[in-house]
Amino acid sequence: MITETTTTTEPEQAADLAALQAAAAGSEEQGTQTAEPEALRLDLAQEITGLASVAVATMGPMFPSIKTIYTQQVIETAAQAVAAVCNKHGWMQGGMMGKWGEEIACAAIIGPLAWQTHQGIKADLAAREKEKPTKPEALTGPGPDLTAPVPGAPVAQTTVTFS
Protein backbone atom coordinates (compact mmCIF):
# COMPACT_ATOMS: atom_id res chain seq x y z
CA MET A 1 0.00 0.00 0.00
CA ILE A 2 1.26 3.49 -0.79
CA THR A 3 1.90 5.68 2.23
CA GLU A 4 2.33 9.40 1.63
CA THR A 5 3.46 11.76 4.40
CA THR A 6 3.90 14.95 2.42
CA THR A 7 1.65 17.92 2.92
CA THR A 8 -0.07 19.52 -0.02
CA THR A 9 -1.02 23.14 -0.19
CA GLU A 10 -3.77 22.87 -2.73
CA PRO A 11 -6.97 20.87 -2.12
CA GLU A 12 -7.05 19.61 -5.72
CA GLN A 13 -3.57 18.14 -5.30
CA ALA A 14 -4.75 16.30 -2.20
CA ALA A 15 -7.78 14.97 -4.09
CA ASP A 16 -5.58 13.90 -6.99
CA LEU A 17 -3.21 12.12 -4.64
CA ALA A 18 -6.11 10.30 -2.98
CA ALA A 19 -7.49 9.25 -6.37
CA LEU A 20 -4.07 8.01 -7.44
CA GLN A 21 -3.65 6.06 -4.22
CA ALA A 22 -7.07 4.48 -4.75
CA ALA A 23 -6.05 3.52 -8.28
CA ALA A 24 -2.76 2.07 -7.08
CA ALA A 25 -4.54 0.16 -4.32
CA GLY A 26 -6.87 -1.28 -6.95
CA SER A 27 -3.89 -2.54 -8.96
CA GLU A 28 -2.32 -4.11 -5.84
CA GLU A 29 -5.51 -6.01 -5.05
CA GLN A 30 -5.94 -7.37 -8.56
CA GLY A 31 -3.75 -10.41 -7.94
CA THR A 32 -5.75 -11.63 -4.94
CA GLN A 33 -9.16 -10.60 -6.20
CA THR A 34 -11.73 -13.40 -6.40
CA ALA A 35 -14.82 -11.25 -5.88
CA GLU A 36 -18.08 -11.44 -7.76
CA PRO A 37 -18.56 -9.33 -10.92
CA GLU A 38 -20.46 -6.54 -9.12
CA ALA A 39 -17.50 -5.88 -6.80
CA LEU A 40 -15.15 -6.05 -9.79
CA ARG A 41 -17.12 -3.32 -11.56
CA LEU A 42 -16.81 -1.06 -8.55
CA ASP A 43 -13.03 -1.58 -8.35
CA LEU A 44 -12.53 -1.00 -12.08
CA ALA A 45 -14.68 2.16 -11.94
CA GLN A 46 -12.64 3.46 -9.00
CA GLU A 47 -9.41 2.73 -10.83
CA ILE A 48 -10.61 4.50 -13.98
CA THR A 49 -11.75 7.45 -11.84
CA GLY A 50 -8.33 7.67 -10.20
CA LEU A 51 -6.45 7.52 -13.47
CA ALA A 52 -8.71 10.08 -15.15
CA SER A 53 -8.34 12.42 -12.15
CA VAL A 54 -4.56 12.16 -12.38
CA ALA A 55 -4.67 12.81 -16.13
CA VAL A 56 -6.75 15.95 -15.57
CA ALA A 57 -4.36 17.14 -12.86
CA THR A 58 -1.37 16.43 -15.10
CA MET A 59 -2.69 18.27 -18.14
CA GLY A 60 -4.56 20.98 -16.22
CA PRO A 61 -1.63 23.40 -15.91
CA MET A 62 -1.01 23.25 -19.66
CA PHE A 63 -4.69 23.27 -20.67
CA PRO A 64 -6.77 25.06 -17.98
CA SER A 65 -10.09 24.34 -19.72
CA ILE A 66 -9.66 20.62 -18.98
CA LYS A 67 -10.16 21.27 -15.26
CA THR A 68 -13.50 22.96 -15.92
CA ILE A 69 -14.70 20.28 -18.36
CA TYR A 70 -13.68 17.20 -16.39
CA THR A 71 -15.11 17.82 -12.94
CA GLN A 72 -14.95 15.01 -10.38
CA GLN A 73 -18.62 14.18 -10.97
CA VAL A 74 -18.10 13.94 -14.74
CA ILE A 75 -15.06 11.73 -14.27
CA GLU A 76 -16.89 9.38 -11.91
CA THR A 77 -19.91 9.08 -14.22
CA ALA A 78 -17.74 8.40 -17.26
CA ALA A 79 -15.65 5.87 -15.33
CA GLN A 80 -18.74 3.95 -14.27
CA ALA A 81 -19.96 3.82 -17.87
CA VAL A 82 -16.57 2.66 -19.18
CA ALA A 83 -16.25 0.05 -16.40
CA ALA A 84 -19.73 -1.32 -17.18
CA VAL A 85 -18.81 -1.83 -20.85
CA CYS A 86 -15.45 -3.37 -19.93
CA ASN A 87 -17.06 -5.78 -17.49
CA LYS A 88 -19.74 -6.74 -20.01
CA HIS A 89 -17.14 -7.68 -22.63
CA GLY A 90 -14.51 -9.02 -20.22
CA TRP A 91 -11.99 -6.28 -20.97
CA MET A 92 -9.41 -5.02 -18.47
CA GLN A 93 -10.27 -7.67 -15.91
CA GLY A 94 -6.72 -7.40 -14.59
CA GLY A 95 -7.20 -3.69 -13.93
CA MET A 96 -6.17 -0.56 -15.79
CA MET A 97 -2.52 -0.56 -14.83
CA GLY A 98 -1.82 -4.28 -14.61
CA LYS A 99 1.71 -5.25 -13.60
CA TRP A 100 3.00 -1.71 -14.28
CA GLY A 101 0.81 -0.08 -11.62
CA GLU A 102 3.60 1.23 -9.42
CA GLU A 103 5.56 2.64 -12.34
CA ILE A 104 2.51 4.38 -13.76
CA ALA A 105 1.60 5.76 -10.34
CA CYS A 106 5.14 7.09 -9.91
CA ALA A 107 5.09 8.78 -13.32
CA ALA A 108 1.67 10.25 -12.65
CA ILE A 109 2.93 11.87 -9.44
CA ILE A 110 6.39 12.89 -10.65
CA GLY A 111 5.16 14.30 -14.00
CA PRO A 112 3.02 17.12 -12.56
CA LEU A 113 5.61 17.76 -9.87
CA ALA A 114 8.32 18.16 -12.50
CA TRP A 115 6.09 20.51 -14.53
CA GLN A 116 5.36 22.68 -11.48
CA THR A 117 9.07 22.74 -10.63
CA HIS A 118 9.89 23.84 -14.18
CA GLN A 119 7.27 26.61 -14.06
CA GLY A 120 8.45 27.75 -10.62
CA ILE A 121 12.09 27.96 -11.62
CA LYS A 122 11.16 29.78 -14.82
CA ALA A 123 9.17 32.34 -12.80
CA ASP A 124 12.05 32.70 -10.30
CA LEU A 125 14.52 33.39 -13.08
CA ALA A 126 12.18 35.95 -14.68
CA ALA A 127 11.75 37.73 -11.32
CA ARG A 128 15.51 37.73 -10.76
CA GLU A 129 16.03 39.20 -14.24
CA LYS A 130 13.61 42.04 -13.44
CA GLU A 131 15.47 42.83 -10.21
CA LYS A 132 18.85 43.24 -11.93
CA PRO A 133 20.03 46.87 -12.06
CA THR A 134 20.04 48.16 -15.56
CA LYS A 135 23.19 49.71 -16.99
CA PRO A 136 22.88 53.43 -17.68
CA GLU A 137 22.68 54.11 -21.35
CA ALA A 138 25.53 55.95 -23.01
CA LEU A 139 25.12 59.68 -22.81
CA THR A 140 24.16 61.17 -26.08
CA GLY A 141 24.65 64.74 -27.12
CA PRO A 142 27.30 66.92 -28.66
CA GLY A 143 30.78 65.55 -28.26
CA PRO A 144 33.86 67.61 -27.56
CA ASP A 145 34.95 70.03 -30.30
CA LEU A 146 38.45 68.89 -31.13
CA THR A 147 39.17 71.94 -33.32
CA ALA A 148 38.50 74.47 -30.57
CA PRO A 149 41.49 75.92 -28.70
CA VAL A 150 42.21 74.49 -25.30
CA PRO A 151 41.74 77.14 -22.59
CA GLY A 152 45.01 78.31 -21.03
CA ALA A 153 47.15 77.05 -23.92
CA PRO A 154 49.24 79.55 -25.89
CA VAL A 155 47.61 80.59 -29.11
CA ALA A 156 49.71 79.88 -32.17
CA GLN A 157 50.09 82.76 -34.50
CA THR A 158 49.86 82.16 -38.16
CA THR A 159 52.09 84.32 -40.26
CA VAL A 160 51.58 84.66 -43.95
CA THR A 161 54.34 85.96 -46.13
CA PHE A 162 54.16 86.87 -49.78
CA SER A 163 57.20 86.95 -51.93
Mean pLDDT by runs of 10 across the 163 residues of the chain is 46 64 59 48 78 87 90 94 90 75 80 88 92 68 67 68 74
Domain ranges, residue 48: 13-110
Distances from the Cα of 75 to the Cαs of 69, 81, 102, in angstroms?
Answer: 9, 10, 22
Q: Which pLDDT does position 10 carry in this prediction?
A: 60
Residue 132 falls inside a structural domain: no
Residue 144 falls inside a structural domain: no
Residue 74 falls inside a structural domain: yes
Q: Which pLDDT does position 115 carry in this prediction?
A: 87
Q: Which pLDDT does position 41 carry in this prediction?
A: 39
Q: Which pLDDT does position 5 carry in this prediction?
A: 44
Residue 91 falls inside a structural domain: yes
- Provide the greatest CA pair distance for the chain: 132
pTM: 0.43
Q: Which pLDDT does position 85 carry in this prediction?
A: 92
Q: Which pLDDT does position 12 carry in this prediction?
A: 61
Residue 146 falls inside a structural domain: no
Is the CB of residue 18 less than 8 Å from the CB of residue 121? no
Position 111: which residue type?
G
Residue 4 falls inside a structural domain: no
- Structural domains in the chain (count): 1
Distances from the Cα of 44 to the Cαs of 80, 95, 106, 119, in angstroms?
Answer: 8, 6, 20, 34
